[in-house]
Structure 1
Amino acid sequence: MQQNKAGTLVMLLMFSSILSGARLQLIRNTTEVRNIWFIESSGSQDLPFIQACAIESASLHNPAYFITLLTTGQLAASCEYCTILQTLPNFRSIRTDKEQAFLSSPMEAWYGSKMYNHSKYRVEHLSDALRYVTLWWHGGIYLDLDVITMRSLHSLTNGLVLEESGRPTNSILIFDKRHRFLKTVMKKCAEVYNPTEWTTCGPNLLQSLYQSGGSSAQNLTFLKAETFLAIGWKRWKWFFEQTRTTAVFQEVRESYGVHLSNHLSKHTTFQIGSGCAYELLAVWNCPRSYKHLVSKNRS
């Protein structure tokens, strides 16, 4: 174990220059309201480590933003990581009122039909809809709960992130409120919604709108994959393999964050002290959550 800890320390020193070089200066003395949104749409009463790490990392690198976790269920008082997140000065957790969220929005009729309730992908479809309508009303940045932020996001405006294949993802969305592209997305989602298709209102929909162009897609920034998806979903195991640590950090050195593809990796863990990329990302970007993870493993 001592050897593992020493190895981790060496790794930290090796990559400190890469990671610190990627950090931007903290935002100070601003009165502009900025929002970063996370959505938990399964109704879970708990938060796992990866979700806590994602939220803490956004808070750490964006102190001038409100970091908001919207939940469809009630988080339990026994939620350990919730207690840790409550110590962050710019974090808040809100149980969303779905009826109110969709009221008077372009997706009001879609939500009222409750078609998504009959889908085996109802959690994903509700999450897609909630992220669009939340940005429509409030604006800001939406991040999936498996995105670890590595630097300030304040320079990002109205845009989508492209995967390595060139297809837009809805795992990261940046929009001003009432942006017309969001309106187009919501209207199209309600129009073509297919409860049997996983990505009916997700990347497939964004891809069709991206390819068709049109006025709603004007003045959008299409961010290259390296901004958040330098390590794409096909290589998600790299984050857990200590032999890939150097390669991972070389590829993400210019990134704003990384996407851990939790739908594929949720049953995979890392050994404390292994020095894999996931662990080092946690050490640097969500230190409070990582400290709690370590203490839990020791007990």
Structure 2
Amino acid sequence: MNLLREFYLSLLVILLLVCGFLYQFNLKSSSLFTYLYSYKPQQGLEAVLSQGRSIVFLETSDRTKPSPLASCAVESAAQVYPERPVVLLMKGLNNSTQLPSNLSDPAFSFFSEIGNVYFFPLDMKRLFEDTPLFSWFAHVNVSAQSNWLHVSSDACRLAIIWKYGGIYMDTDVISIRPIPEQNFLAAQSSRYSSNGVFGFLPQHPFLWACMENFVEHYDSNIWGNQGPDLMTRMLKIWCTLTDFQEVSDLRCSNLSFLHPQRFYPISYIEWMRYFEVWDTDPSFSNSYALHLWNYMNQKHKTVVKGSNTLVENLYRKYCPRTYRDLIKGPEVSATREMGTGEK
């Protein structure tokens, strides 16, 4: 009996020690588990994107956590498209096991609670396989390229939407209502296309032609040459463009060219208006999303809590978790480091 009692006591001590160890480990690594949940490794990139309905964001720098503005873009998309996967591809996550350097970042914590948000590594070489961009990427001297982060982002967005379909958005685009179109480009102004938002069904021939033109007319020294300029060049080949009438979209062949009001009701010349106080907040009733022109924000204008600026009210309405968790104190930058998808 004494031996049996000693055995049970020893077993109890071991169980208590194990429980104590697991408790301490859980405290120290709770952020790790939070991130692993948000990363959703049980579903691979192919499985998520193969539905052809994803909302896709890109980060082609080495950063491993989204800026507050990128966080707002992702959250607002997840809110507007609850039945569609919202995917952020980050080059900084360079393999399937690498985790962000800051596991306790609040953005990953609240994204873990949003079931349709996914983070995946961006593998450019693999992405460009079986596209006209593969040979270009294999031979390009990255260190010698001007605007490489933006040029590579321009290439990636073409390849991923051609391969899988869905909607691409820059990480400074705040979604406010669903886009009802499948094959579309967004007019930045009359007869000039943006590449900050576009959507197509998988393997659409327009995007294949864009990738061919990307390679044929490649010049990283010209800002926008592989981006909005490319989309505009190809649109002119694809369609006979006319001026917009009132707030109507243009239809051409099997794609739509959406009125500037859909995404650019505030033009790039007036981008500062996002940081002003309006007498009455606009309804943006003709818009599907708002492009905040973060590339223009070279002086890093900030979201000031309690300022009642348009951008603060947009955060509060369309990305409330970002506003709650990332916009703290009297003044926090909306941009901090600019993401490469924020043009």
Aligning the two structures, in what range does the TM-score lie when normalised by the shorter sequence? 0.7 to 0.9
How does the TM-score come out when normalised to structure 2?
A: 0.72
What's the counterpart of residue 18 of structure 1? none
RMSD across aligned positions (CA): 2.0
> Which residue of 196, 221, 227 maps to 1:202?
227
Alignment of 1:45-194 (within 5 A): 45-74=64-93, 75-76=100-101, 77-153=103-179, 155-194=180-219
Q: Secondary structure at the match of 2:85?
A: strand
Contact kept in structure 2, 1:34 and 1:64, CA below 8 Å:
no
Contact kept in structure 2, 1:138 and 1:177, CA below 8 Å:
yes
What's the counterpart of residue 295 of structure 2? 263
Q: Secondary structure at the match of 2:306?
A: coil
* Cα drift, residue 265 of structure 1: 2.1
How does the TM-score come out when normalised to structure 1?
A: 0.83
Unpaired runs of 5+ in structure 1?
A: 1-31
* Cα drift, residue 295 of structure 1: 4.0
What's the counterpart of residue 26 of structure 1? none
Max Rg structure: 2
Per-residue CA deviation, residues 129-188 of structure 1 (Å, 9 max, x unaligned), is 0000000111000000000000123x2210101112430000001111100000000011
* Cα drift, residue 297 of structure 1: 5.1
Q: Which has the higher helix share?
A: 1
What's the counterpart of residue 38 of structure 2? none
Give 1:239's aligned amino acid: Y
Distance of 2:130 and 2:305 partners within structure 1: 48
What's the counterpart of residue 18 of structure 2? none
Structure 1 pair 197/297, CA: closer, same or farther in 2 (3 Å)? same
Distance of 2:231 and 2:170 partners within structure 1: 16
What's the counterpart of residue 19 of structure 1? none
What's the counterpart of residue 286 of structure 1? 319
Unpaired runs of 5+ in structure 2?
A: 1-50, 94-99, 241-251, 333-343
Structure 1 pair 116/197, CA: closer, same or farther in 2 (3 Å)? farther
Structure 1 pair 271/43, CA: closer, same or farther in 2 (3 Å)? same
Total equivalences in the alignment: 263
What's the counterpart of residue 27 of structure 1? none
Distance of 1:256 and 1:72 partners within structure 2: 28
* Cα drift, residue 197 of structure 1: 1.4
Q: Secondary structure at the match of 1:272?
A: coil
Identity %: 29
Contact kept in structure 2, 1:163 and 1:229, CA below 8 Å:
yes
Contact kept in structure 1, 2:305 and 2:329, CA below 8 Å:
no
* Further displaced range: 266-275 or 36-45: 266-275
Distance of 1:220 and 1:298 partners within structure 2: 43
Contact kept in structure 2, 1:41 and 1:126, CA below 8 Å:
yes
Alignment of 1:177-256 (within 5 A): 177-213=202-238, 218-242=253-277, 244=278, 246=280, 249-250=282-283, 252-256=284-288
